[in-house]
Chain A
Amino acid sequence: MAQCHDTVAVLPPPPTSGRAQHVVAIVGPPNSGKSTLFNRLTGLHQKVANFPGVTVEHRMGRTRLEAGRDVYLVDLPGVYSLQPRSEDEKVTHDVLTGQMKDLPRPDAVILILDSTNLGRHLALAAPILSLGLPTLVVLNMADDLDRRGGKVDVQELSRQLGAPVALISASHGTGLHAVTEFLSGSTIGIKPKPPLLALPVIQDVPKTRDWASNIGRRTKYLPPAPPIWTRRLDAIFLHPVMGPIVFLMVVIGVFQTIFAGARPLMDAVQAAIQVSGKWIGGALPDNAFRSLLVDGVWSGVGSVVVFLPQILLLFLFIGILEDSGYLARAALIADRTMAKIGLQGKSFIPLLSAYACAIPAIMATRTIENKRDRIATILIAPFMTCSARLPVYTLVIAAFIPEKPLLGPFFGTRAAALLGLYVLGFLAAVITARLLKSTVLKSARAPFVLEMPPYRLPTLQSIGLRLLDRSRVFLRRAGTVILGVAVILWVLSNLPQHDGKAPEIGHSVVGMIGHAVEPVIRPLGFNWKIGIGLITSLAAREVIIGTLGTIYGIEGTSQSVGLQAALRHDLTPGGAAALLVFFAFAMQCMSTIAVVRRETGGWRWPAIQFAYMTVFAYVFSFLANRLISLWF
């Protein structure tokens, strides 16, 4: 890979003037390994505004050069052209032309292309090179190209394009020195040479593709043999009989693992929180501050942190499915079903991510070009069982459903109940989608175009970084929203004070609020304590656990018995079912409402969505309470 070094060395040394920090954008078609390169270069020094979509939201990262200078990298959405047609293309276009708010025009561009599919991918070089920014063309998947017998003359390609070219493997980390060299050399003020072969004047697709073919011929590009392993795996995963079986096994496997597999880890975290809580309680004098810290903060935040292992396992699965390439096959298998509810296979990926969290899912809908399909997907995404519901489900299921084996030792009653709740959310989404697509969001079907990337082994780094990012987001939420709610709740439950003593919970401000809403929720089988939980869970679903922990903790009697016993004491089986159904359907998440507002450009859709989901939740909780109460 010595030639890459040479091609980069032609760059002049960096000028010392100008801005202190340089911004370099990473651009490339989907599946070119853009995010892998970005992760390689920035490692832990990356951040995503808000909750990240997979590559939809642009990510910013910092890479430190040997000279001790920092370069800022922007990871842009994957695009095939710069025609601002879909939202992804618009974001990329706006950043590269300096029209993006709050982001300066990049000083240079790294264009990353899949070297095993250079013919088609080179077409993106035409609009990128015509931007006139210093550009490094990175040919990724060099190992794959080599193994499958493909070839390209890197020196000649660099001469033809008038830009340095580096042949790398982002997943194996080979050839990266060429990229860091470009980053330290490429800076503002250098006007790049135009390509030897003039860029097509009108950039229509056939002309651009011809230009790319011409470049390919001049650089003696030899496309690699078809990927044998991908063909072999597809023969199984897309087999008419085996395919759907594998698909179902994957879905069931995910659920069983996050429910049963996470158990020991969760027990360990719980034990750690209890021990440390006792230790803190013992070290402090008995006063109001200790009560706030131990009963308010520690039990409130702790009861949510317990669910970190479960959430991480779910993201681990989604990460593996996505990075391995199986997710595209799943979308293909799901397309027929999605078409029946008026959506398309592409909605499947956002909706599957909605099982982790509705926020990245809603951001991932930007890849759906059809506006109505996109809004329909956004509106139904919060019905999918997100990870914030898991803590609530787990608690109530564990409290009310005894564990018995159903289908062998690996699928028990509790896992079945959980799976049932997932199905329930899915059905609500289906009904809503049909309703929307046959009325207000009716539209002609957009052509369904889905690329099947070759299968690849997911890299530890890419999955690890995603898990780390998830934990950060989750813990930050536990540390801010949930902490805030826990403190407010503790204060309100200790007011009004009589003779310097906290009131009985039922007579506190919190108790009064709870009693005030009780008539409304009584038909669902909830008492005023659950009512308080429902109010605080408007901030975020899992907050209800901390709230109930605080309420029952303050009561003192049931602290040792635990939340499960307290719930069994306070809820009938009908009420428990109603609580599960309410959480399955209601839109209790401030962050989701905020992200829907941002993505749909106004308050109209989030307002409609919130009202619809709340009414839906109330009606079905009522029915669930009545139905289950007939049995028990």
Chain B
Amino acid sequence: MQTDCLIPDEKLSDTDLHMQVDVKKATLAAELAARALTTLKRGEPGILDRIELPEPDARRLMEMGFLPGHTVIPALSAPGGDPRVYQVDGSEIALRGETARHLILR
């Protein structure tokens, strides 16, 4: 987090900070071991296992349908391939690659 900002970020609790550290570690490990959503080809279904993002962001994605155990299918994208639309839980939701990278498949 930036310290020289005029608008302070919402205060992060200790657990949040731990979570962020954990997330960073987990992301590194995940990219080595597991497949991220971004590795799927267009039209190729994958089953979501977990979201390696801080709680508020993960929660928001889950509300949009990106729930563990649900099937996600990559669809069309903006020119250049990013952001991409994903078919999930009856909806079409667009995510940037930088976000989809943290959605880990089973």
Contacts and interface: CB of A to CB of B under 8 A. Distances in A.
Contact of A223 (B2, B6, B77, B90): B90
Interface in A453-505: none
Contact of B7 (A83, A241, A372, A452): A372
A450 B61 CA distance: 10
Contact of A442 (B2, B64, B92): B2
B63 A450 contact: no
Interface string A370-391: 0110010000000000000000
A265 interface: no
A80 B63 contact: yes
A83 B56 CA distance: 11
Nearest to B69: A206
Given A371-B7, A450-B94, A243 B79 contact: yes
Contacts of A274: none
A447 B95 contact: yes
Given A205-B62, A243-B78, A244-B79, 8 more contacts: A85-B56, A206-B67, A206-B68, A234-B75, A335-B96, A339-B96, A440-B7, A449-B95
B1 A444 contact: yes
Interface in A235-258: 235, 238, 240-241, 243-244
A558 to B, nearest CB: 50
Interface string A174-198: 0000000000000000000000000
B93 interface: yes
A453 to B, nearest CB: 8
A335 B78 contact: yes
Given A205-B63, A238-B76, A333-B79, A117 B91 contact: yes
B7 A449 contact: no
A492 B95 CA distance: 58
Contacts of B53: 447
B99 interface: yes
Contacts of B93: 449-452
A327 B29 CA distance: 38
B78 to A, nearest CB: 5
A171 to B, nearest CB: 19
A307 to B, nearest CB: 35
Contacts of A448: 83, 94-96, 99
Nearest to B100: A447
9 contacts: A85-B56, A116-B90, A119-B90, A234-B85, A241-B79, A441-B7, A447-B96, A447-B98, A447-B99
B57 to A, nearest CB: 5
Nearest to B68: A206
Interface in B1-60: 1-2, 5-7, 9, 53, 56-57, 59-60
A452 B85 contact: yes
B88 to A, nearest CB: 9
A445 B96 CA distance: 11
A83 B60 CA distance: 10
A449 B59 CA distance: 12
A309 interface: no
A451 B92 contact: yes
A238 B78 contact: yes
Nearest to A444: B1
A446 B91 contact: no
A241 B78 CA distance: 10
Given A85-B56, A372-B7, A443-B2, A451 B78 contact: no
A80 B95 contact: no
B67 A209 contact: yes
Contacts of A451: 64, 91-94
Contacts of A372: 5, 7
Q: Which 8 A-B pairs have the closest CB atoms?
A: A205-B62, A452-B92, A447-B99, A238-B76, A80-B63, A450-B94, A117-B90, A448-B96
Contacts, number: 114
Interface of B: 1-2, 5-7, 9, 53, 56-57, 59-65, 67-68, 75-80, 82-83, 85, 87, 89-96, 98-99
A347 interface: no
Interface string A58-102: 000000000000000000000011010100000000000000000
A206 B87 CA distance: 18
A360 interface: no
Nearest to A452: B92
B64 A333 contact: no
A440 B79 contact: no
Interface centre among B53, B83, B85 (most CB of A within 10 A): B83
A372 B5 CA distance: 10
Contact of A120 (B68, B75, B83, B90): B90
B89 A120 contact: yes
A332 interface: yes
Nearest to A237: B76
Most buried by B among A80, A83, A120: A120
Nearest to B63: A80
Contacts of B89: 119-120
B83 A332 contact: yes
B60 A447 contact: yes
A336 interface: yes
Contacts of B5: 372, 440-443
Contacts of A117: 90-91
Contact of A332 (B65, B68, B78, B87): B78
A241 B76 CA distance: 13
Contact of B77 (A83, A209, A238, A444): A238
Contacts of B78: 238, 243, 332-333, 335-336
A240 B83 CA distance: 12
A134 interface: no
Interface in A392-450: 440-450
B99 A206 contact: no
A345 interface: yes
A435 B65 CA distance: 36
